[in-house]
Amino acid sequence: MGLTQLALLTCVVIATVTCSSQTNCHQGGNCRLPQCSCSSYSSPLPVKDTPQIIFYGFDDALNVRMARHFRKLFPSDRRNPNNCPISMSLYIQHAYTDYSLVSEFYKKGMEIGVHSVTHTNIDTEAKLADEAERQKNNLARLGSVPKDEIVGWRSPNLKTAGDKQPPTLKRLGYTYDISLTYTVGKRHQKKPWPFTLDYGYPYSCQIQPCPGRTASHKGFWEVPIVSLMDYKGAYPCAYVDGCYNSPTTEDDAFQFLWKNFEDNYQTRTPLGFNMHAAWFERPHNLAAMDRFIKEMTKKDDVYIVSVQKMLEWMKNPIKLSDLHNLESWGCKSA
Ligand SMILES: [Zn+2]
């Protein structure tokens, strides 16, 4: 019996231990919140006490055309059950970005993250150190976003610097990466939650390189890009706008979003829409997402929050009924 099987067997026998794909990670033992979170396919709380988190991660330039879509979909009167406005995350590149819009969306409570200066493959420590620092500075200086609130990084083309990525980003004040994809081949398969890399990256690497299984990057969060299933239920797609079968009507587009929501809702696994806002240039897609968000904001157990806010909950998993007490999810003007 190998070590992996032994660890799995131990997990089955000791029912109180949450099993992790990180073989040496034991939540509550050698890994404790809020600094450390083992990789997992289930909520840290019972399903009925777990909020359904939906997050949006948009990539590339923030320009006038994209801003129009964001203003329509994320107006301040669309609120979560705690009466605070819904929020999303923008991973912004330098080229073609209008920084007055960065400032506008930051002030509206959206998360501003980084997607490089040049949008080339940032796959070495030197390139990453250079662009992750420069683009953070651009967003701070030109977009008036406080540097300490810029904590998330997405690699262009989802091509990372492997094990060099977490320590380089951490040194520059980043707390998480959202660049590694996880493919779910069929509906109703288990899906990973965000976790820290204290005990390595346990999943198969879709785009080389990834952090290693035995590497340790203490306290650094990885938010997996979990694939969605296309509207025909045929093929997985990492990005909303990257499906092989792309919807051609509003109804198909809505069903695509809705079915993916239903899949995650059974286990309350966070549902991530990783995408380019160019998807909304097709009016039926924009109409479908508008309708979808409207439906979601009617539910008392669904929260549409930025990735940064999702991780605040992961660090401090509060029961749905007590969520109004989670300060990091609060807002000033509610
Ligand atoms: Zn990009």
What is the pLDDT, as a whole number, of residue 16?
Answer: 40
> Nearest CA to 159 among 100, 186, 195, 119?
119
Residue with tokens 């380089």: 168
Q: Is residue 326 part of a domain?
A: no
User: What spacing in Å lies between the alpha carbon of 46 and ligand 1's midpoint?
Assistant: 36
Q: Is residue 31 part of a domain?
A: yes
Amino acid at 326: L
User: What spacing in Å lies between the alpha carbon of 263 and ligand 1's midpoint?
Assistant: 27
How far apart (Å, rounded) are the C-alpha atoms in residues 235 and 110?
31
User: What spacing in Å lies between the alpha carbon of 157 and ligand 1's midpoint?
Assistant: 6
Q: Is residue 5 part of a domain?
A: no
What is the pLDDT, as a whole number, of residue 10?
Answer: 43
What is the pLDDT, as a whole number, of residue 7?
Answer: 42
Peptide bond into 81 cis (omega under 30): no
Which CATH number characterizes residue 289's domain? Answer: 3.20.20.370
Per-residue pLDDT of the chain (334 residues; tens, 9 = 90+): 444 444 444 444 343 445 678 889 999 999 999 999 999 999 999 999 999 999 999 999 999 999 999 999 999 999 999 999 999 999 999 999 999 999 999 999 999 999 999 999 999 999 999 999 999 999 999 999 999 999 999 999 999 999 999 999 999 999 999 999 999 988 889 999 999 999 999 999 999 999 999 999 999 999 999 999 999 999 999 999 999 999 999 999 999 999 999 999 999 999 999 999 999 999 999 999 999 999 999 999 999 999 999 999 999 999 999 998 899 999 975 4
User: What spacing in Å lies between the alpha carbon of 59 and ligand 1's midpoint?
Assistant: 5
User: What spacing in Å lies between the alpha carbon of 195 and ligand 1's midpoint?
Assistant: 23
User: What spacing in Å lies between the alpha carbon of 178 and ligand 1's midpoint?
Assistant: 12
Name the token pair of 32: 């404790």
Name the token pair of 249: 């009507």
User: What spacing in Å lies between the alpha carbon of 158 and ligand 1's midpoint?
Assistant: 8
> Nearest CA to 145 among 176, 100, 96?
100
User: What spacing in Å lies between the alpha carbon of 119 and ligand 1's midpoint?
Assistant: 6
Judge whether 51 and 80 are in contact, CB under 8 Å.
no
Q: Is residue 179 part of a domain?
A: yes
User: What spacing in Å lies between the alpha carbon of 152 and ligand 1's midpoint?
Assistant: 14
Q: Is residue 271 part of a domain?
A: yes
What is the pLDDT, as a whole number, of residue 58?
Answer: 98
User: What spacing in Å lies between the alpha carbon of 276 and ligand 1's midpoint?
Assistant: 8
N- to C-terminal Cα separation, the chain? 56
| Full domain range(s) for residue 75 | 15-41+48-316
How far apart (Å, rounded) are the C-alpha atoms in residues 190 and 162?
25
Exposure string over 94-126, b if 16+ CB within 10 A, otherwise e = beebbbebbbbbbeebbbbbbbbbebeebbeee
Which residues on adjacent β-strands are paired with residue 196?
A: 221
User: What spacing in Å lies between the alpha carbon of 31 and ligand 1's midpoint?
Assistant: 33
Classify residue 119 as left (phi > 0), alpha (psi -120 to 50) or beta: left
Q: Is residue 61 part of a domain?
A: yes
How far apart (Å, rounded) are the C-alpha atoms in residues 147 and 137?
7
Name the token pair of 167: 């320590």
User: What spacing in Å lies between the alpha carbon of 81 and ligand 1's midpoint?
Assistant: 32
What is the pLDDT, as a whole number, of residue 23?
Answer: 83
> Nearest CA to 299 among 80, 122, 55?
80
Q: Is residue 274 part of a domain?
A: yes
Q: How many domains are there within the chain? A: 1
Name the token pair of 231: 């509207």
Q: Is residue 304 part of a domain?
A: yes
User: What spacing in Å lies between the alpha carbon of 256 and ligand 1's midpoint?
Assistant: 23
Residue with tokens 């109804």: 251
